[in-house]
Amino acid sequence: MAEDLTRTVDRAQWRAQVEAAMGEGFTFVDWLTAVDRTYLEDDPGFEVVARLLDVTPGAVRGLRLHTMVPDRGSLESLTPLAAGFAWHERETHEMFGITFDGFTDHSGLGLRPLLLPDGFEGQPLRKDFQLAARASKTWPGGKEPGEGHDSVKSPSRRRVQAPGVPPTEWGPR
C-alpha cells in the first residue's frame, strides 16, 4: 500500500471536506481519534484525525484528514455521512472530552460511555488526567538513583515527577 495522502482541514469545513473525500472514492472508514496537544504553547488543543480508505480493487489508497479543536471544544459529527464513524466518535468523546455536534447512531442515546465503567470521571487519554494507580502504589518501572534492590545508597538527585503521576498529597489517605 502506498503512503497515505494527508490533508489539513479547517474545523469549520470538517464535515464538508470529509464528504468531499468520500466523493473521491475514500468511502471506507478506517478510524478516527484525537491527539492531545494542549501542552504545546504555539498550537494548543486537540488534533482530530480521520483515516479513510479507497478500497478500489487493485488501487487501495489511504487518506488522513486532520483538524484542530480547542480544549473542551466541539466538532461537527461525521455520523450523518457514514455509520462507521459512530464508534470512533463515542470513543474520542469518552477519552478526550471532545463533543461531536449532530452525533447520531440511530439509538437516540447520543454520545455515551463506550469503554469505561459506569460512573468513571475524567478522560483518561488527556495529558491532564491524573493516574490514580500511580498514586496508590509504587510504580514498577525504573527506580531513582539510590532506590531499591537493597543496594548501597548512592547519591540521589532531584526527584522528577513523571507525566500523569499525581503529587504525593493527591488521593485517598
Most confident of 24-33, 129-138, 152-161: 24-33
Percentage with pLDDT > 90 across the chain: 58
Structure-block grid coordinates of residue 157: 538527585
> Which of the two residues, 88 and 151, has the higher pLDDT score?
88
Beta strands in 86-134 (DSSP E): 99-101
Residue 94 is given by DSSP the state H
List alpha helices for the chain, DSSP H.
Answer: 14-23, 85-96, 132-136
Q: Please give the span between the terminal C-alpha atoms of the chain, in angstroms, as a whole number.
A: 54
Domains of the chain: 5-101 (3.30.460.80), 130-173 (no CATH)
Q: How far apart are CA 93 and CA 5, in angstroms?
A: 25
Nearest one of 63, 89, 95, 65 to 77, comparing CA atoms: 89
Place 160 in a pLDDT band, splitting at 50, 70 and 90. Answer: low
Q: Give me the torsion for CA of 99, 53, 5, 82, rounded to 10°.
A: -30
Averaged pLDDT, 24-37: 96
Cβ atoms of 96 and 46 within 8 Å: the answer is: yes
> So what's the pLDDT on residue 130?
81
Model confidence at 147: pLDDT above 70: no
Q: How far apart are CA 86 and CA 54, in angstroms?
A: 19
CA 95 to chain centre: 6
| Sequence letter at residue 41 | E
> So what's the pLDDT on residue 62?
96
Q: Which residues contact 58 (CB under 8 A, 6 or more apart)?
A: none
Work out the angle at residue 59's Cα, subtended by the Cα atoms of residues 63 and 87, and round it to the nearest 5 degrees: 40
Averaged pLDDT, 129-135: 69
Cβ atoms of 62 and 51 within 8 Å: the answer is: yes
> So what's the pLDDT on residue 41?
76
Strand 99-101, strand 74-76: pairing = parallel
